[in-house]
Every structure is written in C-alpha cells, then in structure tokens.
Amino acid sequence: MTSVSVIVKRHDDGYGAFPLDLRGVCVAQGNSLEEALREVRSAICFHLETFGSDAISGEPVAHEVFVGEVLVGAA
C-alpha cells in the first residue's frame, strides 16, 4: 500500500479531487466528499495499472500546498 496526497475542492455541483504525488494527469469527481475520494482512489489505481508504479514520484511533488487569491481583470 502507498499513501498518495489528494487535493479535494468543493464546488456548487459536487467535489473534484486530484492527487499531488502522481506523474501525469489524474482527476475524479463526486457528489459527496466520500464519493470523490472513492473515485480518485479508483482513478489512481487505474493510472498505476496503465503507467506502472513509476507514475508515483519517489519524493512528494508538493512539499507544501497553499491556497491563495489574486485579483484579475482590468485595472
């Protein structure tokens, strides 16, 4: 068993989830937090079956994760 860090974002229409320590693109969604986590676990397993265990980076891709906000648009 390997632990993979996962980011989960809540939206108006459900939850989106994606792993941090995985090479390549892997995302999932669900109507609840539990469903999103279940689906991202399934997506990670499929990703590893497809691309092999080398798809998990040897060291964490993200050492820290921050949430920030910026203003965009015309000044």
pLDDT tens string 57-66: 766 666 677 7
What are the structure tokens assigned to 13, written together?
A: 């229409």
Domain boundaries, the chain: 6-55
Question: pLDDT by residue (tens digit) across 14-60?
Answer: 999 998 888 888 999 999 999 999 999 999 999 999 998 888 876 66
- Rounded to whole angstroms, the Cα distance separating 66 from 5 reads 14
- Whole-angstrom distance, CA of residue 51 vs CA of residue 33: 26
What DSSP state is assigned to residue 28?
E
Residue 53, classified by CB atoms within 10 Å of its CB into exposed (0-12), middle (13-18) or buried (19+), is exposed
